[in-house]
Amino acid sequence: MVATTVGDVLGRRDRAAVPGLALSVFERGEASLWCDGITSIADPLPVTQDTLFQLGSVSKVVTATAVVALVARGMLSLDDLVGPLLPSVDFGGAERSLTVEHLLSHRGGWQGDWSLFNAPASHDTSSLATLVSRARDVPRHSPPGGPVSYDNFGYCVAGALVEALTGEPFDRAVRSLVFEPLGMTNSVYWADHAIWKRVALGHACGGRSLAAGSEPWADRFPTRRALWPQGGVVASLADTVKLASYFATNQDDGPLSPALAAEMQKPRGPSGGQGTHVGLGWHIRCASGEPVLTHTGAAQGSFARVLVVPGRASAMAVLTNSASGPSQVDDLYDWYLRDHLGLVPEAPESAAPPPGADRLLGTYTAVTRTIDVIAVDGESAKVRVQDTGPTWAGDKAYRLRFAVGSRLVSDQTQMEYGALEDVPWVRFRGRIHVREAAASPNA
């Protein structure tokens, strides 16, 4: 059978659901680019390699790179405690153990989605510091250094470190630490800086125009300033592939030494969601025994994904302007790994339920989600997930089978499970949810 081509995959795109898409594949030192569709259904212009897209949480790779660039300059170390670096912030006791590495590897212990609903609306230069000053108010699932849990607030704290150590607003510091060394000349945070460029505007699922206020932290465009470290970059395809290709090659011509770039790619702990482990800024999974670095990003009706295979010195970046983008991006992810590189993503291996599996029964909560483990029977568990949104609103039931690595999996989704100080938790979409009877505002 002839392998699927990228043209075949792009040809299957539902243009009504995903109005615009930009794709780049980097290999053998060169980037190939494909651009298709329009920037907006309201005012259609062709998507080009220089069209700006919101990267959403792919921005965390940029923030982590900026922090590690400060390590390269000798201004801090990954083992440094965060408290002395931000002495005006009350961390509620966490300053005794919270390190820089914990922030970048999602192990700060916070229910970090709290920040999405509590970021100040102001675009004043003090907005990030104002958000971080409320660290004591952020709900916790564990002390620092606990299990990995996707943490938007932790990345805001990392951004505050960048501001404190450089003495500059976050966006200016990132420009000198990351964008300029990588030649990312079409990457911005401000709407004021984007308005004179061609911009892909986000669309709701199905390609509908995005309603103002549909994501409370957004103010339509762009992300609120206090949230820039976790999801604020607006960049072109050409720039995004520069970021991805830097980590694909680890050459000594960027913001980090090859050793520090490789340090960001080392697994820091088992995770769920986008990978099976986390690095610094990156999620990590394996395909045919090779590590694959990845990060996705969703923001105001846009969806992006960056994928890096260091062992092949290859990378892929996909940018879309639709909340329906994941389906197209998933097709391209499969094409890139399976058909283009000949790699097979590792699949979970089924396993017998652990002794005492009934202990998983109960209700688990996080900031916007309730998970009920309703039944455990035979080789599987029955689970109900209720999302209050706004990103994943809905109510779904799953039948999940037990798998190696303390996982519950199906064709549609997966969870992980564990316990901290004998308190059970489940991890869904990368976030820790603590069994309700044990949940508390601060651990």
List the catalytic residues: 57
Token readout for 265 is: 């790619």
Residue 418, judged by CB atoms within 10 A of its CB (0-12, 13-18, 19+), counts as middle
Residue 320, judged by CB atoms within 10 A of its CB (0-12, 13-18, 19+), counts as buried
Question: Of 119, 72, 71, nearest to 99 (Cα)?
Answer: 71
Cα distances (Å, whole numbers) of residue 53 to 31, 102, 307, 331:
18, 29, 17, 20
Token readout for 340 is: 């283009």
Residue type at 257 in one-letter notation? S
Strand order in the sheet with 283-287: 30-37, 20-27, 314-320, 302-309, 290-299, 283-287, 277-278, 269-270
Residue 382 in contact with residue 399, Cβ under 8 Å?
yes
- What is 240-269 written as a DSSP string? HHHHHHHHHH--SSSSS-HHHHHHTTS--E
